[in-house]
Chain A
Amino acid sequence: MSMFAKQGGKSRTGRLPSLVPESVAAIQMGIALFALLAWETVARLFRTDFWTSSPSNVMVELWRWAASGLLTSDLQLTLTEAGLGFLIGSAVGGLIGFILGWNRLLGNLFEPFILSFYTLPKIALAPLFVLWFGIGITNKVMFSGMLVFFMVFFTTYQGTRQVDRDLVENARLLGAQPWDIWTKIALPYSAVWVFTGIRIGLPYALIGAIVGEFVAAEAGVGFRIKEATSFFNTAAVFAGLIILMVISIILLGILKFVESRALGWQSAKGSIQPETQT
Chain B
Amino acid sequence: MGMTALTMPPLPAHDDRETVIDFQGVVARFGGLHAMGPTSLTVKRGEFLAIVGPSGCGKSTLLNMVAGTLKPSEGTVRYKGELVDRINHNVGYITQKNFCLPWRTVEANVRLPLEFRKHPKAETAARVAAALEKVGLKGFEQAYPKQLSGGMLQRVMIARTLAYSPDLYLMDEPFGSLDAQLRTRMHGELLKLWQETGATFVFVTHDLHEAITLADRVVVMSKRPGRPKLVVDIDLARPRDVIDVQSDPAFSAYFKRLWTALDVH
A173 adjacent to B93 (CB under 8 Å): yes
- Known: A185-B101, A268-B144, A274-B136. Is A177-B116 also a contact (CB below 8 A)? yes
Tier of interface size on chain A: 20 to 34
Shortest beta-carbon distance, A173 to chain B, in Å?
5
Is residue A184 within 8 Å, beta carbon to beta carbon, of the partner chain?
A: yes
CA distance A269 to B143 in the complex (A): 10
A163-185: contact bitstring with B at CB < 8 Å (1 yes, 0 no)?
01011011111111100100011
Is residue A136 within 8 Å, beta carbon to beta carbon, of the partner chain?
A: no
- Known: A265-B102, A265-B103, A278-B136. Is A175-B152 also a contact (CB below 8 A)? no
CA distance A169 to B93 in the complex (A): 11
Shortest beta-carbon distance, A21 to chain B, in Å?
25
Give A177's nearest chain B residue, CB to CB.
Answer: B116
CA distance A266 to B104 in the complex (A): 10
Is residue A246 within 8 Å, beta carbon to beta carbon, of the partner chain?
A: no
CA distance A274 to B136 in the complex (A): 9
CA distance A276 to B45 in the complex (A): 34
Q: Which of A164, A167, A172, A270 contacts B147 (CB 8 A)?
A: A270
B147 adjacent to A173 (CB under 8 Å): no
**Which residues of A have CB within 8 Å of B69?**
169, 172-173
Shortest beta-carbon distance, A176 to chain B, in Å?
5
Give A265's nearest chain B residue, CB to CB.
Answer: B103
Chain B 76-107 residues near chain A, CB threshold 8 A: 87-89, 91, 93, 95, 97, 99, 101-105
**Which residues of B have CB within 8 Å of A172?**
69, 87
**Which residues of A have CB within 8 Å of B102?**
265
Is residue B115 within 8 Å, beta carbon to beta carbon, of the partner chain?
A: yes
B residues in contact (CB < 8 Å) with A? 67, 69, 87-89, 91, 93, 95, 97, 99, 101-105, 112-113, 115-117, 135-136, 139-140, 143-144, 146-149, 152, 160, 164, 189
23 A-B residue pairings within 8 Å (CB atoms) = A166-B95, A172-B69, A173-B67, A173-B93, A174-B112, A174-B160, A175-B116, A176-B116, A180-B115, A180-B116, A184-B101, A184-B115, A184-B116, A185-B101, A188-B101, A191-B103, A192-B103, A265-B104, A271-B147, A271-B148, A272-B148, A274-B136, A274-B152
